[in-house]
Structure 1
């Protein structure tokens, strides 16, 4: 397979991009060309050889086109008990005829919204993949919640993916909530076949004052999928944002999650679970930026790794000089079930204020033998006891999923994995 150069990669994507958002695309192009695809020498990607993986896997570095799905495909993909809005996408393109949603929401294709401030939250200079998406995204969606709106039932972002000989898919999502608005979003992707493809996704979330937003995400796609996602949000005064990310499958996955606490009495919550086996590689990079006094952030990521899987966690908390009275907490815990499984973890605090409460930490080890002995002494066999301990470990993250149907769906997936594999 031929090796890709930065210039060739960019040009092939740009050729298929619409001729709109000219200034935005130009900035994305400049940033991407100045950085190129990251290699292991780049500090932010030192444990994740994604450039090599892309070059080895993607045979046609061009944008994959939309394809047809039907109502039966949509019905089959929706988990039991779900009630709410459904927005359907194929390879990043919004399919309105298969979607149904609360009329309080305003939903438009991004290509029909030339005045959207795309790139104002997720900036191309932060990550080369943001620049690549910004320069070459083809389709996307803009969701708007009016002031004081309360969307009682969750909004399911249901993405179907299929590629021809390994192509690139670049979804783009913009979510804007007015003051005092409340909503929950569930991001769920479905692989239509077992072919390899590369997803490069950017999600920007702009919350208003006193807004309450939740963003839940499940990654359970094909074993040959390469995926990079950049999710970034601005959290304003008296607002709360909660993210829960559950990663179960894929070839190589990189999740960049950035919370910008730009209002007093704001709260940002980040929870993640990666349950990996085979040779799956998942890299979670998070960033919380405290810029204003009287704000709080909470972060808990947990990993269970078996076989030759690899997990990476790099969490950064910045507390700026003016951000007095900050509360910031971060924890990463991992259980290794194989001598060949690897975790690289690096929780970080950078504090420039002096009146704060901040903590961070990480643990990596095996199952608690005393707890395992305790359960076995009460008549529980080893396999079941092991599964119970692992389930309890994972459940601390899953309990932060507010929607009951999605939480039960994730619990069932995790339970099946723990019961059958471990």
Structure 2
């Protein structure tokens, strides 16, 4: 078992937590010590040895304190063409003066009813660690029948000297018939490794529509665990798109609970990895009610000594008749040293369903490459164009035009497909 599970090692982190939510924190702390950080043989983390990584890179656990964030830093972090609202986090703490939010959306401290009601600490050690020791969380509420026409950009600034932990904690709730789009971007400051352990709980009421887009491009300083869990009700829709371009070791847990008929959940991901970047995407879709739909597509392009992991689970409960569920994972390896571990899974207890899943792993199509070269396109750009055609299917699911264009530019630059 990891030495990080010992009381002495974790005491500074737990002692640095505020006194609020005492019962919820105590429950989570007990759950964390019961589970411990994932050991080498832990099935859910067997390809992502994050406990070993933390032991090597993080000397001790302490909560990271807020640092100086200026208006100029915020302006620099906003991508070109963005028109919308800004929510600035400073090592997980809301910076109200630097944030600009729509008047109809309320921001407040977390309540006892919200914390841990969707993301259960017993399900994952990192959820438990966050709940037991996060310093400050926030709740975002979009009222009933409110349509937020412009996206809300969450700029999460993180800086931590060795031995510090950043633990953002966010609750998002959209009322009946509400619509909202979030874009999450993390900016690392300084040169030290940063361990970020994030929990986001999202609740979509009847006929709500929520988009949650994420860009992970923090460089090789980032050691990150993210748990996003969503409950959506009747006639509601939730769409997540995760674009992973860099990081040291990144683990994304995305869980979607379909709790009402005619609800729809969409999960899309693209990971473009090089160097020794390690990205692990674990998804879970739980169909509990008849007449619900889920769509899932993750694609990866891996070069150098990078490693990707995909594990997608779809559960169809006995009462969830007329379920329609699709899951696919496709990968291209550009190096003999790149590795992908992929495992799509279906568990079905209902008999009147339409479900499919699959995965592919291969190399670039040499015939298509030759075809483009024969028409006057040099090999490097031809390769980039083919790779972009492969990746672009995920980017098409980003509905916000400015963020879509920004991601397209980043992906094209990485793949060498810009003219």
TM bracket (short chain): over 0.9
1:168 paired to 2:157: no
1:121 paired to 2:118: yes
Give yes or no for contact 2:258–2:265 (8 Å, CA) kept in 1.
Answer: yes
Map 1:172-183 to 2 at 5 A.
172-183=169-180
Give yes or no for contact 1:193–1:222 (8 Å, CA) kept in 2.
Answer: no
Give yes or no for contact 1:288–1:318 (8 Å, CA) kept in 2.
Answer: yes
Gapped runs of 5+ residues in structure 1? Answer: none
Change (3 A) 1:156 1:328: same
Whole-Å Cα distance in 1 between the matches of residues 400 and 121 of structure 2? Answer: 32
Range with greater deviation from structure 2 (406-415 or 328-337):
406-415
Give yes or no for contact 1:194–1:223 (8 Å, CA) kept in 2.
Answer: no
Match of 1:94 in 2: 94
Match of 1:393 in 2: 390
1:76 paired to 2:76: yes
User: How much does 1:349 deviate?
Assistant: 0.3
Name the SS for the 2:63 alignment partner. coil
Name the SS for the 2:394 alignment partner. helix
User: How much does 1:40 deviate?
Assistant: 2.1
Match of 2:241 among 238, 241, 244: 244
Map 1:104-119 to 2 at 5 A.
104-110=104-110, 114-119=111-116
Name the SS for the 2:122 alignment partner. helix
1:379 paired to 2:369: no
User: How much does 1:420 deviate?
Assistant: 8.8
Match of 1:350 in 2: 347
Name the SS for the 1:160 alignment partner. strand
Match of 2:136 in 1: 139
1:202 paired to 2:188: no
Change (3 A) 1:411 1:166: farther
Q: How many residues align?
A: 417
Match of 1:233 in 2: 230
Match of 2:266 in 1: 269
Gapped runs of 5+ residues in structure 2? Answer: none
1:221 paired to 2:218: yes
Match of 2:315 among 300, 312, 318: 318
Whole-Å Cα distance in 2 between the matches of residues 390 and 420 of structure 1? Answer: 8
Whole-Å Cα distance in 2 between the matches of residues 211 and 61 of structure 1? Answer: 39
User: How much does 1:7 deviate?
Assistant: 1.9
Give yes or no for contact 2:384–2:417 (8 Å, CA) kept in 1.
Answer: no
Whole-Å Cα distance in 2 between the matches of residues 287 and 9 of structure 1? Answer: 31
Give yes or no for contact 1:330–1:359 (8 Å, CA) kept in 2.
Answer: yes
User: How much does 1:60 deviate?
Assistant: 2.8
TM-score between both structures, scaled by the size of structure 1: 0.97
Whole-Å Cα distance in 2 between the matches of residues 405 and 420 of structure 1? Answer: 19
User: How much does 1:116 deviate?
Assistant: 3.8
Match of 1:58 in 2: 58
User: How much does 1:415 deviate?
Assistant: 1.0
TM-score between both structures, scaled by the size of structure 2: 0.98
Runs of 4+ that moved beyond 3 A: 2-6
Match of 1:85 in 2: 85
Whole-Å Cα distance in 1 between the matches of residues 325 and 53 of structure 2? Answer: 35
User: How much does 1:6 deviate?
Assistant: 3.2
Whole-Å Cα distance in 2 between the matches of residues 369 and 279 of structure 1? Answer: 26
Cα offsets for 1:377-401 (capped at 9, x unmatched): 1111110100000011111001101
Cα offsets for 1:114-153 (capped at 9, x unmatched): 3442101000111000000000000121100000000000
Name the SS for the 1:405 alignment partner. helix
Match of 1:20 in 2: 20
User: How much does 1:109 deviate?
Assistant: 3.2
Whole-Å Cα distance in 2 between the matches of residues 263 and 156 of structure 1? Answer: 28
